[in-house]
Chains A and B, each alone.
Chain A
Amino acid sequence: MTEVIVWEGWVGGLVIGAYLLFQWLVTGKTLGVSSGYNSVCSMVSKTDYFHKGIFGEANNWKLWFILGLPLGGFLSAVTSPGDVVMSFSLGEMYDSVFPESLWAKGGVLLLGGIMIGYGSRMAGGCPSGHSIAGMSMLNPPSILASVGFFVGGIIMVQVLFGIL
């Protein structure tokens, strides 16, 4: 698995907070990732939900934003000291509780992904839109959603590492 350089928490947070403000300053657009997946769905589905507002056209800024994210990950990997390794490893902790078979492991990740996708649409956002941008605006629903994200995460991981 690729090992990337990780900054101290407060340094990373400071820089991400600065990024949030930089994006607002330059583009006027609020940071948010999860609705970008609507663009992907709009390419294969005629369902009205995926064609509202900026998603009337699949080619919109949110799509370009999420296409940039893997490039950023790649850039981070190649500028870290170790080799860039393509691997299905999930790191020490998750590998210790997940099934070893690739397809079973993939099935668990797929299920996790479905919950992430469905849950973020129900909640109207993910940690970038609710917890970083939303809490910066001191928006009460975003604060509530952020608490919900953490409670859900704690429940799942405590069960995963406690009982399994």
Chain B
Amino acid sequence: MSFLRYVFYRLLVAVPTVLIIISFAFFLAKLLPGDPITVMFGELQPPPEVRKALEEKLGLDKPIYVQLAAYVGRALQGDWGKSIHTGEPVTSLVARRFVATLELTLASIIISTLVGLLLAYISASRPNSAIDSLVRLISIGSYSIPVFWWGLMLILVFSVNLQLLPPGGKEGWRSLVLPSIALATVNLGMIARFSRAAMLEVYTQDFVTAARARGFAERLVMIRYVLRNALVPIVTLVGYRFGVLMGGAVITETVFNYPGMGKTIVDSIFARDYPVLLGSIMVISLTVVVVNLIVDILYAFLDPRVRVKA
């Protein structure tokens, strides 16, 4: 199978995957008691005739599978509908949120991968030394910190006391700094621990010993032989974390008042705003499919053995 055919095939498989995911999401949302009209009227629920008229107008009166089929039909033609409550077109809303989430995810993944790899490198170079223990402490600490507390601490120090960075919102790169640090903190410990283990596993293999025997400098051995060969599992982890983060980081988004996918989805569930919910889930599931595909392609790039098999 040629490379392009492989990519095409993978993307084709994504179609039923996304369909199954949004069907699940839709049925689950419908299983919840209450609907958009309940939310709209709150304590002052309307009499049956008003409710019925509104259900008709909003297309909520038809059987669930008809609603779903109609939605999918329109979505395939590019009409993702409007938010039931605010009337905003779902495409522009989700596009904005997607970009915001992508920015946050990229920033935090870059920080956490760089710092995580650096820590792993330091650790793996001197296994079981004092510095290794210190790095272990920092790593475990970083992914044990509750992110809401850590986020508030960052706000308290850098926004309230030092007044250097905005405490939240999304205006330019400055508002991206604190949330991406908060998110990166949680990930970098995980990446550091995982990479250290991966590197140590390679560390004792024959080709590393051989490289060392040939008299290469230790740093060269670590980077060219150990790290490079440990990258496959690391890429898997980073790719996986990337996918998770693209689904939104609800707590971080809430603490930093950041308009990302996570809050959008949670709010749309609370408001029973089905078009927004489905649009967001569709985009996220597509993203995860694409990220997985990229990770698989990276494998081939990093490990010639995979290329041979393919």
Q: Does chain A bind chain B? A: no
Seen from chain A, the residues whose Cβ lies within 8 Å of a Cβ on chain B are none
